Each structure stands twice: as C-alpha cells, then as structure tokens.
C-alpha cells in the first residue's frame, strides 16, 4: 500500500504550495510539512528548496518524484485489479484525438467482439493532459502522437503513419508546388497550440529550416473535422495523418500534395510509467491491441 506521506509529497509537487496541498488533502499545513520532513529524513536528502516564497524541487526531489509517481500509478492499478477479481475485466486508457477518433474505433470493436464483457474506457485528450491523467492513475496507459519525456515513460511503437499535406481537388496554388517551402504562400489550417499534430508539423518544418510563423496566413481550429471540411471546400491546405483523410482521398474529395523534399511520417506510441511493477501487463495489453490493429489492416488491404 502506498505510504500516505508519498501522496502528500505528490500533492505538494502538483501545487508547489504547502498550504494548497493541505487544503486538497484536508489536513493542516504543519502536517504536510511533517510528512515531507519524514520522507526527507528517511531518504537522507532534501526534496524542496526555497527561493523567496516559492518552492522548487531539488535534484533528489525530482528523482523521488519520478519514482513516487510510478508507485502511485501502480497502487491505483493494483486496487483496480483486486476489485476486478471474479468480475468483468476493465481497461482504462487514453488516446490523442487522431488516434482516438480514426485509429481506435475498429480496434476497440474487434476487442469487444472477442471479449463481449470487457469494460472499456477511452479518454480522448491531447498528449499533455493524457500524461497528467496517467501520472494520477486515472488511466492505465496511453496511445499518443505527441512527444513525451522518455526518461519517465516506457514506450512501444504502436504504428507509424504517413503525415501528408492535402488540398481540395480544384484548389489553385499561388505558385508551382515542388518543395515544402513552396507552400508558404498558402493558407495553412492547423490545430491549436498543444495538439500533437501541430507539434509534429512544427518539428518537420524545423528540419527544413522553417517555422509556422513563415506561413503568413494561418487559421487555428480545435477540430480535425472542421479543418477537413474547410480544406475540402478549398479554404486552404492542411497536414493530416493518412487515416484521418483516407476516406476523402479515396472519394476524390481531397488530393495529396506531392512534394519532392518532404516525405513525413510519425510513430504513434503506446506508453506507460517507467519501472512499473506491471510492465508485463502493459506489454500484454499492447500485444492485444496490436493483434486487432494487424487484423484490421489486413482485412482493409
């Protein structure tokens, strides 16, 4: 069972404020301070340092945070596993928008056909929010397109997807399009800051010594479907993972923009907390999801 003082430490780390942590834990501030001092004495290191009225993690505190977060997530998983003994199996996970809306539906349908009593809960959020939910034990694992700190999470490559620029079939370009930089004069429709697809595009542009600010005409939208509809209507260009626009490409509602110097792709990663006691469980779930993904891919070829 997780030491209650570790939970106090994690709450302080989330708030970086002893008073706020005490309020959330419904205990006194001196009790919070005592819990932290007990842990520091037990491990022989200071976990926090003060700079004025602000507190910051020490190097030892950062190391303890990584390990304690995994302890906490494992504790939540263990509690769930014990509650499920003799009952229906449950899987709680998160996925980023592209994966959740365009990759997971047939995979989850296949899982439910194989195991009709399976309880599934998928939360669709951006990578940053999914990492928070994972650290808090609210989900067991996540499948993400965005970037994450690999020193804190184990990962397996779920699949690699082409990342392509598209436009309407009748779209007229300002100039002949041969290279990535030839697109700079077009209106670019993109997701909001913080989204995985936007971050992937930003890094791809950096590889060509470009940035998003080099596009003078940018429209930010929080919905992939809205972006698709606007691109289909000729409002501009956009970059999508292939599964997102596969149907529109096949129906002739969109066309891929061919570029000589730009063949982009990106991995979708299956992640969980590093050094988890339940590594084998997550690897088994990964193989289960991969089996359905492989079967789905073969039946659609």
Predicted confidence (pLDDT) at residue 265 exceeds the cutoff of 60: yes
Q: What is the pLDDT of residue 1?
A: 56
Tokens of residue 87, six digits:
């009952």
Alpha-carbon distances of 276 from 113, 130, 134, 223, rounded to whole Å: 30, 17, 12, 34
202, pLDDT greater than 70: yes
Which residues make beta-bridge pairs with 193? none
Helix (H) or strand (E) holding 170: none
Grade residue 300 by pLDDT with cuts at 50, 70 and 90: very low
Q: Greater confidence, 269 or 261? A: 269
Please say if the pLDDT value at position 289 is more than 60: yes
Residue-wise burial string across 210-232, b where 16 or more C-beta atoms lie within 10 A, e elsewhere: beeeebeeeeebeebeebbebbb
Bridging pattern class, strands 238-241 and 90-95: unpaired
Asked whether the beta carbons of 292 and 111 are under 8 A apart, the reply is: yes
SS3 category, 46: coil
Q: Is the pLDDT of residue 98 over 90?
A: no
Q: Strand, helix or coil at 209?
A: coil
Please give the share of the chain, as a percent, with pLDDT higher than 70: 95
Confirm if 178 and 259 have CB atoms less than 8 A apart.
yes
* CATH numbers and ranges of domains, the chain: 4-68 (1.10.10.10), 82-159+267-300 (3.40.190.10), 162-266 (3.40.190.10)
- Separation of alpha carbons 104 and 91, rounded Å: 14
- The predicted pLDDT at position 122 comes to 94
Mean pLDDT, residues 242-254 taken together: 91
Higher model confidence: residue 194 or residue 204?
Answer: 204
Average pLDDT of the residues in 67-73: 82
Place of tokens 């997102």: 244
Planar angle of CA 103, 108, 114, nearest 5 degrees: 140
What count of other Cβ atoms lies within 10 Å of the Cβ of residue 1? 6
Structure-block tokens of residue 199: 């971050």
Residue with tokens 């792709």: 265
Average pLDDT, the chain: 85
d(CA 253, CA 237): 13
**DSSP 8-state class, residue 169:** T
Q: What is the pLDDT, as a whole number, of residue 301?
A: 46
Alpha-helical segments (H) within the chain: 4-15, 18-25, 29-43, 59-84, 97-98, 104-114, 127-135, 196-207, 224-232, 242-250, 279-300
Instruction: Name which residue leads in pLDDT, 85 or 201.
Output: 201
Which of 210 and 1 is assigned the larger pLDDT? 210
Which of 123-137, 198-212, 287-301 is modeled with the greatest confidence?
Answer: 123-137
Binning pLDDT at 50, 70 and 90, where does residue 286 land?
very high
- Reported as a pLDDT band with limits 50, 70 and 90, residue 296 is low
The answer to whether residue 28 scores a pLDDT higher than 50 is yes
What's the DSSP call for residue 180?
G
In whole angstroms, give the CA distance from residue 226 to residue 103. 18
Residue 65 has a pLDDT of: 86
Q: How far apart are the first and last CA of the chain?
A: 48
User: Is 299 a residue whose pLDDT tops 50?
Assistant: no
């Amino acid at each position: 069972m997780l030491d209650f003082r570790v939970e106090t430490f994690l709450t302080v780390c989330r708030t970086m404020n002893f008073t706020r942590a005490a309020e959330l834990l419904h205990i006194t501030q001196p009790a919070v301070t005592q819990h932290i001092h007990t842990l520091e004495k037990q491990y022989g290191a200071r976990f926090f340092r003060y700079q004025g009225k602000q507190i910051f993690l020490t190097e030892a505190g950062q190391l303890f945070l990584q390990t304690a977060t995994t302890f906490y997530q494992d504790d939540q998983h263990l509690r769930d596993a014990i509650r499920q003994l003799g009952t229906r199996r449950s899987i709680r996970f998160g996925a980023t928008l592209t994966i959740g809306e365009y990759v997971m539906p047939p995979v989850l349908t296949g899982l439910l056909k194989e195991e009709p009593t399976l309880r599934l809960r998928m939360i669709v959020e951006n990578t940053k929010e999914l990492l928070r939910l994972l650290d808090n034990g609210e989900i067991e694992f996540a499948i993400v397109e965005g970037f994450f700190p690999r020193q804190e999470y184990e990962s397996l490559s779920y699949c690699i997807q082409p990342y392509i620029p598209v436009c309407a079939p009748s779209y007229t370009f300002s100039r002949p399009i041969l290279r990535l930089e030839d697109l700079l004069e077009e209106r670019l429709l993109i997701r909001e800051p913080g989204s995985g697809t936007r971050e992937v595009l930003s890094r791809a542009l950096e590889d060509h010594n470009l940035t998003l600010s080099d596009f003078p005409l940018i429209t930010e939208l929080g919905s992939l479907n809205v972006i698709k509809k606007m691109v289909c209507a000729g409002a501009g260009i956009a970059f999508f993972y292939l599964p997102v626009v596969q149907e529109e490409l096949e129906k002739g509602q969109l066309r891929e923009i061919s570029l000589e110097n730009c063949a982009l792709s990106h991995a979708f990663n299956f992640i969980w907390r590093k050094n988890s006691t339940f590594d084998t469980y997550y690897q088994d779930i990964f193989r289960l999801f991969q089996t359905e993904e492989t079967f789905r891919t073969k039946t659609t070829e």
